[in-house]
């Protein structure tokens, strides 16, 4: 789940492995109370995984149930963490509903005091169905897998446990004012006093005795100044591991110290401008879906670094903390966003209270999940919605306001597909433009005139100094399709339009970086009874610089030549 251990004292156990699984295509399980009496006609499915990678479930969208039994050898407090369950998730333990979560890419948990000794039955009802009020909505340009895609974890808690550790800071040069919040919770029937210690790199820097009332929580703050800290930077990762612990429990987080600013149309890290050289990456693989194994994450990172990238855009959902740990460790910047993908998002939907509440909750969970990663520079609130309307403006105001209240240290961004009509430009710290000249329309030379008009319009709206990134551009190529001259769907044509576009963007002083669409080919959402995405040859979005099995196309080699030659 992480590249480092989050606990040294707390007993943790993964419930990964084979779970009982049953498809509920008729949605009968609730009425027949499968949470009390699980069906006998089951199959085994490994957790974490996507069920669409299993035989006979390739294109199944809908409801499915999971069951896992576990043993407690004594009565104890436990915490169940579901690190990601796609879509709707109802969680039952021993026939009792623990709660519900909607989302798909962020964790949720339940704390269960004084669980009895013996065998317990954990049942999850999941639903991957998309509709007009889900996020993403029903028409989305990637395959919407179903399943428990990240680990399920069981933690054994002491009477007094560390519920949360949050670390924030401000920098003046290489001196850091550090603000640590440790939240302790009591599951005891008695008041208690306990020694609480904080350390970095195994060296204790603060310790004191704290008291906590029975059954209550305590927020304990520690403020201090560190001098001459090592700054985390692009290509120069410096990380600090901070541990808070008592005699019986602990929590470990890892941070990096750096500043983020914007000036002269550039993103500045620690005061120095960085021209962004990036790709869009879906955390998806044809054999694994969204349940992406750590080994493949390491390989993706190696390929992306070889390409000459210094940044990755997480398209279009919060990605695995393990992936972000790798970016932290190698000094790459990350753009994190929630899965509001809007090319076919009706304007009527953005006004719906349920849709808006889901979006706000997803943003809050994303910021909480990725808060300590120094690689995260951008919080993105949506991608390609109809950004020409007052309804979009009002929704976006709510989303941006929430993000800034949760974290004022990073940049708030979005990506527009309507750059010459967009009304949202003044709301953001960074503007992303998605445009596919040379593929869906016209030819790449039209980027120049579009950008000239865009810069004029942005200036007239008071956003002329806002950094602009080209967040999507490119075209499709079938791996191995080469010829004597460029043509649609050939590797030659894809390479041509990407290299031409990169040259135009680099020559524009108002463009601060590029994210090519996309890193790897991904499975598309195609069906014979739908009119959407029927241009997706092989049922894949084939715009990757590498194919779905990470084999390089001609465009990969051409982009590597260009990106590695850019020194800014």
Each domain of the chain, given as residue ranges in start order, spans 11-157, 160-248, 275-565
Q: What order do you get walking across the sheet with 175-186 strand by strand?
A: 160-172, 175-186, 217-226
Banded pLDDT at 462 (limits 50, 70, 90):
very high
Strand partners, 172: 175
3-state SS class at 279: strand
CA distance 473 to 169: 36
Banded pLDDT at 539 (limits 50, 70, 90):
confident
3-state SS class at 174: coil
| Per-residue confidence (pLDDT) for residue 342, from 0 to 100 | 87
pLDDT tens across 58-117, in order? Answer: 999 999 999 999 999 999 999 999 999 999 999 999 999 999 999 999 999 999 999 999
| Per-residue confidence (pLDDT) for residue 199, from 0 to 100 | 97
Asked whether the beta carbons of 95 and 76 are under 8 A apart, the reply is no
Residue matched to tokens 């990605």: 319
List, in order, residues 6 or more apart from 368 with CB less than 8 Å away: 106, 406
Q: Token digits for 446?
A: 């039209």
Determine what percent of the chain falls in helix, strand and coil, rounding each to the nearest 5. 20, 40, 40
CATH tag, 275-565: 3.20.20.80
Q: First-to-last CA distance in the chain?
A: 34
β 152-157/11-14 pair status: antiparallel
Mean pLDDT on 2-20: 97
pLDDT over 70 (residue 315): yes
| Per-residue confidence (pLDDT) for residue 536, from 0 to 100 | 86
Domain 11-157 is classified in which CATH homologous superfamily? Galactose-binding domain-like (2.60.120.260)
User: What one-character DSSP code corresponds to residue 427?
Assistant: G
Strand partners, 417: none
CA distance 102 to 338: 13
Q: Token digits for 466?
A: 């806002």
CA distance 64 to 19: 12
pLDDT over 80 (residue 340): yes
Containing H/E element for 326?
helix 321-330
CA 205 to chain centre: 33
Domain 160-248 is classified in which CATH homologous superfamily? Immunoglobulins (2.60.40.10)
Asked whether the beta carbons of 463 and 430 are under 8 A apart, the reply is no
Mean pLDDT on 225-242: 97
pLDDT over 70 (residue 497): yes
Asked whether the beta carbons of 77 and 155 are under 8 A apart, the reply is no
Is pTM beyond 0.75? Reply is yes
β 108-115/11-14 pair status: unpaired
| Per-residue confidence (pLDDT) for residue 529, from 0 to 100 | 73
pLDDT tens across 107-131, in order? Answer: 999 999 999 999 999 999 999 999 9
Banded pLDDT at 533 (limits 50, 70, 90):
confident
Banded pLDDT at 528 (limits 50, 70, 90):
low
CA nearest to 165, candidates 96, 89, 222, 81 = 222
Asked whether the beta carbons of 38 and 93 are under 8 A apart, the reply is no
CA distance 105 to 89: 12
> How many angstroms separate the Cα of 87 from the Cα of each of 136, 208, 363, 520, 559?
10, 43, 15, 24, 36
């Amino acid at each position: 789940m992480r590249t480092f251990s989050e606990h040294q004292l707390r007993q943790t156990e993964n419930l990964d492995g084979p779970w009982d699984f049953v498809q509920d295509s008729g949605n009968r399980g609730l009425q027949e109370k499968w949470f009390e009496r699980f069906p006998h006609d089951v199959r085994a499915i490994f957790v974490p995984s996507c069920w669409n990678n299993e035989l006979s479930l390739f294109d199944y969208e809908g409801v499915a149930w999971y069951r896992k039994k576990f043993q407690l050898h004594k009565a104890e407090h436990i915490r169940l963490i579901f690190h990601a369950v796609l879509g709707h998730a109802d969680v039952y333990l021993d026939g009792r509903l623990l709660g519900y979560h909607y989302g798909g890419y962020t964790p949720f948990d339940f704390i269960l005091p004084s669980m009895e000794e013996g065998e317990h039955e954990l049942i999850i009802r999941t639903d991957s169905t998309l509709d007009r009020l889900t996020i993403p909505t029903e028409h989305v340009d990637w395959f919407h897998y179903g399943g428990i895609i990240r680990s399920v974890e069981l933690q054994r808690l002491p009477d007094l446990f560390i519920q949360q550790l949050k670390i924030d800071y401000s920098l003046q040069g290489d001196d850091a004012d550090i603000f640590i919040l440790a939240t302790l919770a009591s599951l005891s029937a008695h008041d208690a006093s306990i020694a609480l210690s904080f350390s970095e790199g195994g060296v204790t820097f603060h310790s004191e005795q704290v008291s906590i009332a029975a059954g209550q929580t305590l927020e304990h703050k520690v403020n201090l100044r560190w001098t001459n800290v090592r700054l985390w930077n692009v290509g120069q990762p410096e990380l600090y591991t901070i541990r808070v612990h008592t005699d019986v429990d602990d929590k470990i987080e890892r941070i990096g110290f750096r500043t983020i600013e914007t000036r002269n149309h550039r993103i500045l890290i620690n005061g120095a401008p960085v021209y962004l050289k990036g790709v869009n990456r879906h955390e998806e693989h044809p054999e694994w879906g969204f349940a992406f194994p750590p080994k493949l994450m390491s390989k993706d990172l190696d390929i992306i670094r070889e390409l000459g990238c210094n940044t990755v855009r997480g398209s279009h959902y919060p990605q695995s903390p393990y992936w972000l740990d790798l970016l932290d460790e190698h000094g790459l910047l990350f753009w994190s966003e929630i899965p509001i993908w809007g090319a076919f998002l009706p304007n009527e939907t953005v006004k719906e209270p349920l849709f808006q509440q889901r979006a706000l909750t997803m943003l809050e969970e994303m910021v909480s999940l990725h808060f300590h990663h120094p690689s995260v520079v951008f919080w993105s609130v949506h991608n390609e919605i109809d950004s020409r309307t007052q309804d979009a403006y009002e929704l976006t105001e709510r989303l941006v306001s929430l993000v800034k209240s949760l974290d004022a240290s990073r940049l708030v961004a979005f990506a527009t597909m309507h750059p010459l009509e967009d009304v949202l430009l003044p709301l953001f710290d960074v503007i992303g433009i998605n445009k596919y000249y040379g593929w869906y329309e016209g030819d790449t030379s039209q980027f120049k005139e579009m950008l000239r008009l865009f810069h004029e319009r942005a200036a007239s709206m008071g956003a002329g100094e806002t950094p602009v990134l080209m967040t999507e551009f490119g075209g499709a190529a079938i791996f191995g399709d080469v010829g004597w001259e460029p043509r649609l769907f050939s590797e030659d044509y894809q390479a041509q339009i990407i290299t031409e576009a990169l040259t135009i963007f680099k020559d524009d002083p108002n463009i601060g970086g590029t994210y090519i669409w996309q890193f790897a080919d991904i499975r598309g959402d195609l069906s014979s009874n739908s009119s959407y995405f029927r241009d997706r040859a092989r049922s894949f979005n084939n715009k990757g610089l590498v194919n779905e099995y990470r084999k390089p196309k001609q465009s990969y080699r051409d982009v590597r030549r260009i990106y590695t030659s850019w020194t800014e």
